[in-house]
Structure 1
Amino acid sequence: MTKQTWLITGVSSGFGRSITTQLLAQGQTVIGTVRNTAKVQDLIAKFPNTFICETLDVMDVPAIHALVDRIANEHTIDVLVNNAGYGLFGAAEELSDKEVDKIIATDLTGSIQMIRSVLPYMRDQQHGRMIQISSYGGQVAYPGNSMYHAAKFGIEGFCESVAQEVAAFNIGVTIVEPGGARTEFRYGSARVADLIPAYDGPAHAFMKMLDPANGLAPGDPERMAARIIESATQTPAPLHMVLGSEALKNTIQRLEERIAEYKGETELAASTDFPAGE
C-alpha cells in the first residue's frame, strides 16, 4: 500500500484500535484520537515516528475544528476513519434526555463535524477517502436500540448525500456496516438505560446479547479491520460495505421487506397526484 496518513477517531479500543495497529505494522502514519491516552501508551512507545496521539472528545465541536485545522497544516490527511461511538440500549421511554443528547452528539453529530472539518482540505488536495464506521443497524432496526439506530440511520443518509457532493473532487466515501463483533463495543462500552419492568420482553432482548455467557458475537474484529483498510484502495470507493455473513443476510431480508412494502403502496401513492393533464 502507498504510504498514507490516516486520521482515525476512537483508537483506544474496538475497530479503531485494530485498524490502527494493522496500519502501523504496515508502515503507515496514523493520527489517532482518544479521550484517555493511558490506553494507547504501548502504541506511543512502539511507533514514536508514525503514531501521533491526540486527545479529543467528539462531542466538543470547536475542538474538532481546531484539531483538524492544526493537523491539516502539518500533514496531508489521506484517509479519515470516523470510528468513535458507543451503543445505548433501552426502550425509547427508558432513556433520559441526557442519554439521548449524548449518543446523538457522539455517534451522529461528532461524525458529521469530523467530515465537515476534513472536507475543505481533501477538496483542496483533490483526493481523499472518508470511511464512516456505521453498523448494519444503520439499515435494520431492533427494539430496545432506538437511539443507536437513529444515529446510524442518520449518519448513513448524511454520508450518502456527501458522497455525491464530493465525487467530483476525487474523494470517496464508504459506509462500513459491521455485524456483531467481539469488541469492547458490545462487551464493555455498551450502556444500558434505567430499565422499566413494563418493557420486559422484546424491548429487553438485548440483555441476552450483551452477556458473553450466551455466546460470543461471530465477527472477528481483526479480519473486519483488514477489510476496512483494503477498502481504501478500491476504486471507485464502495458506498456500503457490510461485514459479517449474518449481518448481510439480515440486511438483505429487511431491504426486501421494505421494497415489498413500498410496492404495495403504488395505488395509494398515485391517488395523491393531480390527474394527468391538470
Structure 2
Amino acid sequence: MSQIWFITGCSRGLGRAFAVAALESGHCVTVTARNVNEVADFRQKYGDRVLPLSLDVTNESQAKDAVQSTIKTFGRLDVLVNNAGYGNVAPIEDTSLEEFRAQIETNLFGVIILTKAALPHFRERRSGHFFQVSSIAARIGPIGRAPYAAAKWGVEGFSETLAKEVAPFGVKVTIVEPGGFRTDFAGASTSLREGRPEYEETVGKTVRFQREYNGKQPGDPARAAAALLRLAAERDPPLRIVLGSDAYNAAEKNDLTKIELARKWKDVSISADFPKVGE
C-alpha cells in the first residue's frame, strides 16, 4: 500500500537514498533540504508524488508549516524520517561552546522539533511511524565527536520515551543506528581537525583514519534504504536497529562490555540501597 513519507536532509547521503527508495517503491514523499534547489530534481523525475520543501530543522515554524503542507498536499502523513544531521571531528578542548550548541541544535533539537510537529497528526489518526536516524556513535562515544555523540545519545533517550508514550495510539518509533556508509558524511560535509598536539594519539589518529576511510566504508546507502522500507512495512518493527556490519559488531562488543562491567561492580551498585529489615 502506498504511503506518505516525510524525509529531512534529502540533498545527499542517506536522506537522498531513503527518498529515492521510497519513490521507486511507489510512495509519495516530501523531500526537504535547507536549499530546496538541491532537491528540485526529485520533482522533475517523479512528478506530483514529490513535494520539495526548503526546511531548516531547527526552525519550529518552518517544521510545522512543512508538515501541514504535506498533509494538505497528500491528505495525510504516514512516515517521518528524521535524518538531517552532521558531525564534525575535533577534541572537546578545542571545540567551542558555539560549535557544541550548533551540532546539538541540528542533531537533537531538529529531531524533537519535527517529531512534535508531526505527533498530533499521528495521534489523531492513531497510526504513523517515526524513524529517528541516530548513529552507532550513540552507543560507543567515538573519539573526536563529542557534540555529535551527545546529541545522538539525546535522540535515543528522547525516542525511547516517545515510543512508550505513543504506543497506545498505534504510533511506531524506530531508532536507526548507521555505521559507516559511503556518503558525503565523512567527506566535504564534515570538518576534521586534529587539534592541539597533546591529542595526536587520540583525536589526531581518528582524523587520519577518517580521511583514509572515506570512500571505503562497508555501508551501501541503497541497501540501508531497502532496510528502512522493509521496517516501514512491518506490523511490529523494532525500537532500535543498527545498520551495517561495522555498526553491528561495534554495538555487540560495546553492549557485552557494559554488561560485564555492570556485573563486576554489582555489589557496589546495590550497596547504595537502604539496608533491608534485619540486616
Task: Give the TM interval when normalised to the shorter protein.
Answer: over 0.9
- Partners of 1:155 and 1:4 lie apart in 2 by 25
Query: In the alignment, which residue of structure 1 is the partner of 2:31?
Result: 32
Choose 199-208 or 145-154, whichever is displaced more. 199-208
Cα distance 1:261–1:76, how it changes in 2: closer, same or farther (>3 A)? same
Alignment of 1:111-126 (within 5 A): 111-126=111-126
Query: In the alignment, which residue of structure 2 is the partner of 1:181?
Result: 181
Query: In the alignment, which residue of structure 2 is the partner of 1:81?
Result: 81
Q: Is the 8 A contact 2:194 2:207 kept in 1?
A: no
Query: In the alignment, which residue of structure 2 is the partner of 1:53?
Result: 52
- Partners of 1:107 and 1:8 lie apart in 2 by 14
How far the C-alpha of 1:73 sits from its partner, in A, is: 4.1
Query: In the alignment, which residue of structure 1 is the partner of 2:61?
Result: 62
Count of residue correspondences: 277
Q: Secondary structure at the match of 1:52?
A: strand
How far the C-alpha of 1:64 sits from its partner, in A, is: 1.5
How far the C-alpha of 1:113 sits from its partner, in A, is: 1.2
- Partners of 1:245 and 1:24 lie apart in 2 by 26
- Partners of 1:80 and 1:64 lie apart in 2 by 12
- Partners of 2:207 and 2:116 lie apart in 1 by 36
Q: Secondary structure at the match of 2:267?
A: helix
Instruction: State the TM-score, normalizing by the size of structure 2.
Output: 0.94
Query: In the alignment, which residue of structure 2 is the partner of 1:10?
Result: 9
The letter for the 2-side match of 1:157 is: G
- Partners of 2:49 and 2:71 lie apart in 1 by 16
The letter for the 2-side match of 1:135 is: S
How far the C-alpha of 1:29 sits from its partner, in A, is: 0.3
Q: Is the 8 A contact 1:95 1:194 kept in 2?
A: no
- 1:42-87 deviation line (CA, Å, top 9, x unaligned): 2121122111001011121232123223433443110000000011
- Partners of 1:203 and 1:193 lie apart in 2 by 8
Moved over 4 A (4+): 212-215
Query: In the alignment, which residue of structure 1 is the partner of 2:204?
Result: 204
Residue 137 (str. 1) matches residue 137 (str. 2): yes
- Partners of 1:98 and 1:203 lie apart in 2 by 20
Cα distance 1:153–1:213, how it changes in 2: closer, same or farther (>3 A)? closer
Query: In the alignment, which residue of structure 2 is the partner of 1:72?
Result: 71
Query: In the alignment, which residue of structure 2 is the partner of 1:92?
Result: 92
Identity %: 35
Instruction: State the TM-score, normalizing by the size of structure 1.
Output: 0.94
- Partners of 1:111 and 1:18 lie apart in 2 by 19
> Structure 2: 5+ residue runs without aligned partners?
none
- Partners of 1:209 and 1:186 lie apart in 2 by 11
How far the C-alpha of 1:241 sits from its partner, in A, is: 1.1
> Structure 1: 5+ residue runs without aligned partners?
none
Cα distance 1:261–1:208, how it changes in 2: closer, same or farther (>3 A)? same
